[in-house]
Amino acid sequence: MKQENKTWFLRGMRDGTPIMLGYAAVSFTLGIVARNAGLTAGQAFLTSLLNNASAGEKAGFTVIQADEGYLAMAIMMLIINARYLLMSCSLSQKISPETGLIPRLIIGFEVTDEIFGVQMALPGMICPWYTYGVIAMALPGWSLGTYLGVVMGNVLPANIVSALSVGLYGMFLAIIIPPAKGNRVIGALVVISMLASCAFAYLPIVSAISPGTRVIILTVAISAAAAYLFPVKEEDEHAA
């Protein structure tokens, strides 16, 4: 390994350490969700190793637990993980044209909110070895945390498992509360989404729809309505 690549790799490991610690805590509770969906520790580990996406995996485990079909799974993953397409487009502007296909595929494989953030914060172009260093820390933290979540979920008392399974929602709250506090439209949409989800779960007819399909319907309907009624103006994008 060239000295420059080694330097970038070690820098990536340094920046990836906090991500690893956060991932380990979050993915542990995700492992509890996987365990409740009937997955083994090995299956959960492999899922997180190949699909590092908290919301996507949570939705996927929900589809599995509800015994949905492959079509519902595919649509769910497309909708929930669509933001990574936008992140990848933005990230591609920081990749040197000389970067080969394999490094691009590796960088694209591990586009997550946190890893995207640290890469975009780098001045200039991204060295692939920096991304390798971040991945070397973040991915084991995520996949091993999920594995341990399933293992501990199988040995802990049922009331403890039930309490830990709520932990993943704490992460989602941490994600949505800051932007909701700073933007009334986002705050209103969060409240509407929660009320609509509750209504779909208990109202006649719609409550008979499977949980996975309900999530798909609500996600598409509310996001489409928000995009139509409250479009982001060009000057707002530049200001952000």
User: Are 111 and 56 part of one and the same domain?
Assistant: yes
Task: Count how many residues are written for the chain.
Answer: 240
pLDDT, the chain, mean: 82
Average pLDDT score over residue span 95-124: 87
Query: How many angstroms separate the first and last alpha carbons of the chain?
Result: 39
**Digit-coded pLDDT (tens) for 15-36:** 889 888 888 888 888 888 898 8
User: Are 50 and 142 part of one and the same domain?
Assistant: yes
Tokens of 76: 């769910």
User: Are 146 and 201 part of one and the same domain?
Assistant: no
pLDDT for 238:
46
Domain final residue pick, 141, 167, 193: 167
CA-CA distances (angstroms) from residue 135 to 9, 32, 124?
10, 23, 20
User: Are 97 and 122 part of one and the same domain?
Assistant: yes
In a domain, 173, yes or no: no
In a domain, 172, yes or no: no
Cα–Cα distance for residue pair 219/75, rounded to 1 Å: 11
User: Are 100 and 212 part of one and the same domain?
Assistant: no
User: Are 83 and 126 part of one and the same domain?
Assistant: yes
Total number of domains constituting the chain: 2
Question: Residue 195's CB: how many other CB atoms inside 10 A?
Answer: 10
CA-CA distances (angstroms) from residue 150 to 134, 156, 225?
25, 10, 38
CA 216 vs. chain centroid, Å, equals: 16
The upper half-sphere exposure of residue 28, i.e. CA atoms within 13 Å in the direction of its Cβ, equals 12
User: Are 103 and 60 part of one and the same domain?
Assistant: yes
pLDDT for 9:
94
pLDDT for 27:
87
User: Are 135 and 217 part of one and the same domain?
Assistant: no
CA 62 vs. chain centroid, Å, equals: 14
pLDDT for 165:
58
The parent domain of residue 75 ranges over: 3-167
Cα–Cα distance for residue pair 93/75, rounded to 1 Å: 28
In a domain, 27, yes or no: yes
Residue 9's φ and ψ, nearest 5 degrees, are -65, -45
Q: Look up the pTM and report it.
A: 0.70
**Digit-coded pLDDT (tens) for 151-187:** 988 877 766 666 665 655 665 666 577 777 778 888 8
Question: Residue 152's CB: how many other CB atoms inside 10 A?
Answer: 17
At residue 205, does pLDDT exceed 70? yes
**Digit-coded pLDDT (tens) for 71-106:** 888 888 888 888 788 788 888 888 888 889 999 999
pLDDT for 168:
56
pLDDT for 174:
62
At residue 46, does pLDDT exceed 90? yes
Question: Residue 65's CB: how many other CB atoms inside 10 A?
Answer: 16
pLDDT for 237:
44
At residue 239, does pLDDT exceed 90? no
Average pLDDT score over residue span 231-237: 56
